[in-house]
Amino acid sequence: MPELPLVERYRCEAERFLVNRVVKRAASGVDDMMMPGLSPRRFKSIVTGCRVVAVNRRGKYLWIQFDRSPHLVLHFGMTGAFIYDPPTRPKHWRIELTLDSGGVIYLADARRFGRVLLVNDPLSEPPISELGFDPWLDRISAKKFCDSVRSRAAPIKAILLDQSFAAGVGNWIADDVLYLARVSPRRRGKSLSSAECGRIVRQLVSVVRTATKAGSHGEKFPKKWLFHLRWGRHQGIKTPAGDAVRFEMIGSRTTAWVPRVQK
DNA sequence: CTCAGTGTTCAGTG
DNA sequence: TCACTGAACACTGA
């Protein structure tokens, strides 16, 4: 599910629900894939009794900052989501926090590509310390962006998806950025002109800001974005301007692009 | 039944 | 050592 704009929305919602609350009960399933080395017993004993001080985000990672270490770092993988006060325990719940307010929050994740970690100093330890610039939180100069892109041989699509380069960019954001910047996803970083890199960084900031301000609600995104056309992947689908959309595997992800526009 | 899906990691290669 | 590539991870729904 979640790229930067959606994780930011989760962060805002969780902030309202959690800040200043004390965890009265904490539970998790046994899951060495999502929570390597973290038993339900240890999770419960560490988290119970903690007061939430803040809910933070960097890239696709969100962390719940407690009044003491360690703090709870979460990644939503492909299908992760928060669920608040459901009438019954959600089918794919992975962790459950019951608060002094009486509220209950679940992390659910059917596919289990998400992560649950307890980290002493999230900003200065992996995995968050390994992330590149966050286009919502950080400013980056066009020159630094271009130098970095042009030092690499991989396709620009793969570079944009590299979280140690740009944190929070996912498959559809990368595709829309390259479409709006009119650059083919197959172009190698090395081959890009500074004008092309400039268009890419401008569109990257623009797409992330626009989507995040829209609260990650796709219906509110600009009509011209490929976002609206990619799901379902119809054969022979065209942009509103009448250009054919092509779907192919690039950087080991399905990539939507418009060859007539992107060179 | 088969395949693709808003993501990351790891082994193999050059 | 490093960058790059593609398979693997697990599960659901079309």
Query: pLDDT, tens digit, for every residue of A128-154?
Result: 999 999 999 999 999 999 999 999 999
Inter-helix orientation angle A194-213/A4-18, to 10°: 30
A128 CA – B12 C1', rounded, Å:
27
A188 CA – B13 C1', rounded, Å:
19
Q: What's the residue count for chain A?
A: 263
Say whether the CB atom of A252 is under 7 angstroms from strand C. yes
Say whether the CB atom of A153 is under 7 angstroms from strand C. yes
- pLDDT value of residue A193: 97
Which nucleotide's C1' atom has the smallest distance to the CA of A161? B7
A131 CA – B10 C1', rounded, Å:
18
Q: List residue ranges whose Cβ is under 7 angstroms from nucleic strand B.
A: A 1-3, 6, 59-60, 75, 77-79, 111, 113, 127, 161, 163, 170-172, 230-231, 233, 247, 252-254
Q: What percent of chain A has pLDDT over 70?
A: 100
pLDDT band at A233 (very low <50, low <70, confident <90, very high): confident
The residue among A110, A102, A100 whose CA lies nearest residue A79 is: A110
The residue among A146, A239, A251, A259 whose CA lies nearest residue A192 is: A146
Query: What's the CATH superfamily of A4-130?
Result: MutM-like, N-terminal (3.20.190.10)
User: Please, which positions of strand B sit below 7 A from a protein CB?
Assistant: 4-9
Burial of A87 (0-12, 13-18, 19+ CB in 10 A): exposed
- Rounded mean pLDDT, A28-32: 96
How is residue A165 annotated by DSSP? T
Task: Enter the CATH code of domain A142-257.
Answer: 1.10.8.50
Is the pLDDT confidence value at A204 over 70? yes
C-alpha–C-alpha distance, residues A233 and A254, integer Å: 10
- Rounded mean pLDDT, A178-189: 98
- pLDDT value of residue A216: 86
Six-digit token string for A81: 């989501």
Q: What percent of chain A has pLDDT over 90?
A: 94
* Nearest protein residue, CA measured to C1' of C7: A252
- pLDDT value of residue A228: 94
- pLDDT value of residue A252: 86
- pLDDT value of residue A130: 97
Domain boundaries defined on chain A: 4-130, 142-257
Please say whether the beta carbons of A18 and A55 come within 8 A: yes
pLDDT band at A34 (very low <50, low <70, confident <90, very high): very high
Mean pLDDT of the residues in chain A: 96
- pLDDT value of residue A2: 84
C-alpha–C-alpha distance, residues A62 and A46, integer Å: 18
Which nucleotide's C1' atom has the smallest distance to the CA of A164? B8
The residue among A97, A130, A129, A140 whose CA lies nearest residue A116 is: A97
Say whether the CB atom of A234 is under 7 angstroms from strand C. no
Kindly report the backbone phi and psi dihedral angles of residue A118, in degrees, each rounded to the nearest multiple of 5, phi listed first. Answer: -110, 120
- pLDDT value of residue A246: 95
Which nucleotide's C1' atom has the smallest distance to the CA of A252? C6
Query: pLDDT, tens digit, for every residue of A65-81?
Result: 999 999 999 999 999 99
A110 CA – C12 C1', rounded, Å:
8
How is residue A256 annotated by DSSP? E
Is the pLDDT confidence value at A1 over 80? no
Rounded alpha-carbon distances, angstroms, from residue A74 to A33, A109, A221, A246: 13, 11, 26, 34
